[in-house]
Amino acid sequence: LIRERGIASVSIADVMGAVDLTVGGFYRHFDSKEALVSEAIEAASLETVGEMTLPSHGSQGPAEFRAAVARYVSRDHIADPGRGCPVAALAAEAAREAKATRAAMQRAVGRVVAMLEADGPKTKRERRRMFTALSTAVGAVILGRVLKGTRIGDELVASVRAELLEGD
Amino acid sequence: LIRERGIASVSIADVMGAVDLTVGGFYRHFDSKEALVSEAIEAASLETVGEMTLPSHGSQGPAEFRAAVARYVSRDHIADPGRGCPVAALAAEAAREAKATRAAMQRAVGRVVAMLEADGPKTKRERRRMFTALSTAVGAVILGRVLKGTRIGDELVASVRAELLEGD
DNA sequence: TGTACATCAGTGAACGCGCGTTCACTGATGTAC
DNA sequence: TGTACATCAGTGAACGCGCGTTCACTGATGTAC
C-alpha cells in the first residue's frame, strides 16, 4: 500500500482497513506510523532482493545479473509499484523523512549493493559499473512511472533495458 | 520549498508564510494547491534547464554535456534539492499525483530530453545512450540524497560521476 | 487639481474533514489449580 | 474435567491538530470626470 501511494498518502486507517481491522488496534502492533513505515520498507526490501536472488543461492553470474535487470527495468515492474522495489518507489520521499525511515531505506539500498557484490571481490572499475547500473535501473523505473503512457516513456524504458542488457 | 520538502509536506500556509502573507490571499493567485504545484514544477524545470544550457545558446557540444553532467551529479546538487532539478526531487511523488501535476512533470522531463537533443538529429544508438545517461543521472541524485552521509553514498555518487564523464 | 468610485491583493476567521494517537472497554484464548 | 483468572488483540469513540478552501471584509491604488 505504501509503495503504491507513498508514505504520506497512506493513513493508519487505510492500512488497518486493508486487513479489515479498525484504527485503534494498530498500536498493539506498532509504536507509531514511523515504525510501521520502517518495517514495511525493510520487509519490501527483503522480498525484492529475495526475488532477484532466487534462482542461484548467493553466487550470481552474469546470466543472473541480466535476468535481474530484465525483471527490474520492465513494463511489469513499472506498472505495479505496490509489488515492486521499495527503493524505486520511495527513495526520494524517504530521504525527507525522519531518521528511522531514512535508515531503513539506506539498509534497503545496502542490501541491493550486497547482492550485487555477492559473487566475490570486484575491481574498482567493476564497482563503478555496478553503482552506475544501479543508478540507471532505479532512475529508469522512476522516470518510466512518471512518463507512463507517453511515447518518450516507452522509448526511455526500452532504451535503458537494451543498453543495460547488452553490457556496453 | 516543494522541492525541499515534497508536495504533500508543504502546506499553503507554509508557502504563503514564506513570503510573509496569510493563507487567505493564496486563492487570488492560484485556483488550488494542485495549480500551484504544477506551476512550481514548470518554473523549476525551466530554471534548471536554463542553467544547464546557459553557456552556449542551444547548440550543445560534448564539452557542454560534460559540464552539465558534472553539475547535475554533484555533492552540491544533492545537498540542495530546493534549488535543484524538480525531476530528481519530485518525479516519484508526482507520478502518484493528479493529472495536472503528472503532466507538468512529464513536460519537465520532455524539456530535458529536448535540451539533450538540441544539437541536431541522433542515431538510434545515440538516443539510447542519451536516455540511459538521463536515467543514470536522475537515479544517482535520488540515491545520493537518501544515502547522504554514508560511505556507500559517497562512493556511488563519485562512481556515477566518473563513469558518465569518462564516456564509457 | 481635486473628488468619487471601481478594482483587487491581501486579511483573518471559519468550514468540514482526515490525520496520528490515546484510552477505557470487550471478549476470546490459554493456563493454573 | 471443570472453574477462575490473566492476557492481550481488537473495538470504537474521543482528543487536539493542521489541512485545503471559502468568504465577508479592508484598504491601497489608479482611473474618470
Asked whether B160 and A130 are in contact (CB, 8 A), the reply is no
Condensed to tens digits (0 to 9), the pLDDT of residues A85-126 reads 999 999 999 999 999 999 999 999 999 999 999 877 889 999
Chain C: nucleotides below 7 Å from protein CB are 8-14, 18-24
Q: Residue A30 pLDDT more than 70? A: yes
SS3 state at A106: helix
Return d(Cα B44, Cα B46) in angstroms, integer.
6
**Residue A42, amino acid:** E
Give B87's contacts in chain A (Cβ within 8 Å): 143
With an 8 Å Cβ cutoff, is B111 touching chain A? no
Mean pLDDT in each 10-residue stretch from start to end of chain B (168 residues)?
97 96 95 97 97 65 87 98 98 97 98 90 93 98 98 98 88
With an 8 Å Cβ cutoff, is A138 touching chain B? yes
CB-nearest partner of A93 from B4, B92, B129: B92
What pLDDT, on the 0 to 100 scale, is given for residue A118?
86
What pLDDT, on the 0 to 100 scale, is given for residue A121?
80
**Residue A11, amino acid:** S
Range list of β-strands (E), chain B: none
Of A39 and B56, the one with more pLDDT: A39
The nucleotide minimizing the C1' distance to residue A33's CA is: C20
What pLDDT, on the 0 to 100 scale, is given for residue B55?
61
Residues A14-26 have a mean pLDDT of 95
Q: What is the percent of chain A where pLDDT is above 90?
A: 86
Among B108, B133, B130, smallest CA distance to B121 is for: B130
What pLDDT, on the 0 to 100 scale, is given for residue A119?
77
Query: pLDDT band at residue A168, thresholds of 50, 70 and 90?
Result: low
CB-nearest partner of A131 from B142, B155, B168: B155
Return d(Cα A95, Cα A90) in angstroms, integer.
8
What pLDDT, on the 0 to 100 scale, is given for residue A55?
61
Among chain B residues, CA nearest to A127: B159
The nucleotide minimizing the C1' distance to residue B22's CA is: C11
How many residues would you count in chain A? 168
**Global pTM value:** 0.94
What pLDDT, on the 0 to 100 scale, is given for residue A63?
85
Return d(Cα A64, Cα A52) in angstroms, integer.
8
Provide the number of CB pairs (under 8 Å) joining chain A to chain B.
158
